[in-house]
Structure 1
Amino acid sequence: MDLKNITSEVCKVAIEGGAFLKRERLIFDKNKIEEKNSHDYVSYVDKETEKILVKKLAEILPQAGFITEEGTADYAQEDYYWVIDPLDGTTNYIQDYAPYCVSIALMNKGEFLIGVVYEVCRDECFYAWKDGGAYMNGKRISVSDTFQMNKAFAGLDLPYNDKTYKPVINHLLDSLYGKVSSVRFCGSAAMALCFVAIGRYDMWAEAFLKLWDFAAGALIVQEAGGKVSDFAGNAGFCDNHYIVASNNKLHSEIISLTSGYQDKLS
């Protein structure tokens, strides 16, 4: 399988999906928003974008199944499968607030093969394939070389499970605010991971994520020289929903803040 060429084709699909998001944003109707769970929104745009992506990706790799956020396609235990988030950062999109993106990963029996994340607002396409490095708009990217916590630019995010996560975010903010260079909230897990991959963030953490939130971005971080784990520092982060990503140099520092909460969030 030529992963490099397939990645190139997937980038085109992601950009096409992003173009649809951009067009629809000009005429977006907030009255058509649905609430899946408390403060967890979906719109017709998410669903229609996903249909576009599924159709195009099925042409690239007909034997692959699909794991998608909006459930417009099926996974029947195929060895190869696409993992799709058609609009990561839906709340940002609703508010016309950057960033938001299309996220596509290809996996084989649990292994990441391809990751593509297209950020619509800045027209930035991040991508990677297994053992091929990480790129943004054709240029090789790598994580930062920051190794001091007081110089670190840290990213955090706020999952919808607010009551359960509140003690964690309070702990992380108390531990980081004023002790690192700065702390920011992104609103899109896929983009936050890409920010780590390109060195805009030195570290990032969030819980209660789904595979489609992090699959593409996680591979991009790893291929850019970074590290991704669960809150306890374990490499098998796909088995749960707690994700920590860093430039590798600061991973033990952020894990020291999150590890005590892994079991409490289960």
Structure 2
Amino acid sequence: MNYELLTEQVIAITRLTGNFIRKESMNFNAAAIEFKGLNDLVSYVDKTAEEQLVGNLSKLIPGAGFETEEDTVNSRGQTYNWIIDPLDGTTNFIHGLPTYSISIALYEEEQPVLGVVYEINRAEMFHSYKDAPAFLNHEEIRVSQRAHLSDSLLATGFPYYQFDKQPQYMQLLSELMQKTHGLRRIGSAAVDLAYVACGRFDAFFEYNLNSYDVAGGAYLVQQAGGKIMNFSGGPEFINQREILATNGLLDQEMLEALQRNFNS
């Protein structure tokens, strides 16, 4: 498999769908909103974008499986599987806020080999592939070199359902507000992870995320020299639905803060 060529094809497909989402944002009708669950919004834009991505990606690797947010198709491939979020940051999109993205990852035999995150409004295309660094618009990127929480800027996401851990979460935020340059919640986990990969954020943490929210961005962080783990420091972050992404220098301080508050 020529992963560099494949990634360029994925980038072209992603740009096409990004253009569709950008165009729809100009005349989006709030009456088109549907509810999948509590505070879990979806629209025809999400669904159409996913259909476009699945249709075009299917041509690149015949027989590959798909794991998709909107269930356009969910099938298991023998060797290759795409993990897709067609519009990460749907709530931002619906409310006219400018941060939302497309996230795509490709897994080969249970291992990630390709990741693309496209932040649509700034036209920033983050990508990487097996045995390559991470890139932003084809310029190589690396994680930050900040080694102390006191110098760091962090990203997170607020829970919008399953509020059982909210007291611990608020306690953690209170601690980190006092120990860092600040915390940001921009509403797209894929973008948060891409920003860790390029050094804008020094770490990102969130729980109750799905594979399609984090698969593409997590791969970018790893390829840019950072680390991905769960709140206990272990490697399994997708099935445990908790993720900590760091620049590789803040691991210990972040894990200690998480474990103090979440009792992981």
- Would you call these one fold, judging by a TM-score over 0.5? yes
Decide whether the 8 Å contact of 1:193 with 1:218 is kept in 2.
yes
Deviation at 1:259, TM superposition (A): 3.0
SS at structure 2 position matched to 1:61: coil
Residue matched to 1:93: 93
> Within 5 A, what are the aligned runs for 1:140-179?
140-179=140-179
Residue matched to 2:225: 225
- What does the per-residue CA deviation read over 1:54-103, in whole Å, with 9 as the maximum and x for residues that have no partner? 01101111121110000001313432110000000000111111210010
Residue matched to 1:191: 191
Residue matched to 1:32: 32
CA distance in 1, matches of 2:61, 2:15: 18
Letter in 2 for 1:133: P
CA distance in 2, matches of 1:146, 1:112: 27
CA distance in 1, matches of 2:91, 2:130: 31
Decide whether the 8 Å contact of 1:65 with 1:76 is kept in 2.
yes
Residue matched to 2:103: 103
Decide whether the 8 Å contact of 1:232 with 1:260 is kept in 2.
no
Deviation at 1:262, TM superposition (A): 6.1
Residue matched to 2:182: 182
Deviation at 1:174, TM superposition (A): 1.2
Residue matched to 1:61: 61
Which structure 1 segments of 5+ residues have no match? none
> Within 5 A, what are the aligned runs for 1:4-23?
4-23=4-23
Higher alpha-carbon deviation: 76-85 or 114-123:
76-85
- What does the per-residue CA deviation read over 1:11-40, in whole Å, with 9 as the maximum and x for residues that have no partner? 111111111100111110101101111111
CA distance in 2, matches of 1:150, 1:80: 42
Residue matched to 2:236: 236
Decide whether the 8 Å contact of 2:168 with 2:262 is kept in 1.
no
Residue matched to 1:113: 113
Q: Does 1:80 align with 2:80?
A: yes
Decide whether the 8 Å contact of 2:115 with 2:217 is kept in 1.
yes
CA distance in 2, matches of 1:36, 1:84: 17
Decide whether the 8 Å contact of 1:232 with 1:262 is kept in 2.
no
Deviation at 1:178, TM superposition (A): 2.5
Residue matched to 1:50: 50
Which structure 2 segments of 5+ residues have no match? none
Residue matched to 2:209: 209
Deviation at 1:238, TM superposition (A): 2.7
Deviation at 1:260, TM superposition (A): 5.3
Q: Does 1:70 align with 2:70?
A: yes
Letter in 2 for 1:117: V
Q: TM-score, normalised by structure 1?
A: 0.96
Letter in 1 for 2:139: K
Decide whether the 8 Å contact of 1:231 with 1:261 is kept in 2.
no
Deviation at 1:142, TM superposition (A): 0.3
SS at structure 1 position matched to 2:13: helix
CA distance in 2, matches of 1:255, 1:10: 35
Deviation at 1:263, TM superposition (A): 7.1
SS at structure 2 position matched to 1:238: coil
Letter in 1 for 2:18: G
SS at structure 1 position matched to 2:7: helix
- What does the per-residue CA deviation read over 1:144-169, in whole Å, with 9 as the maximum and x for residues that have no partner? 00012111001111132252231232
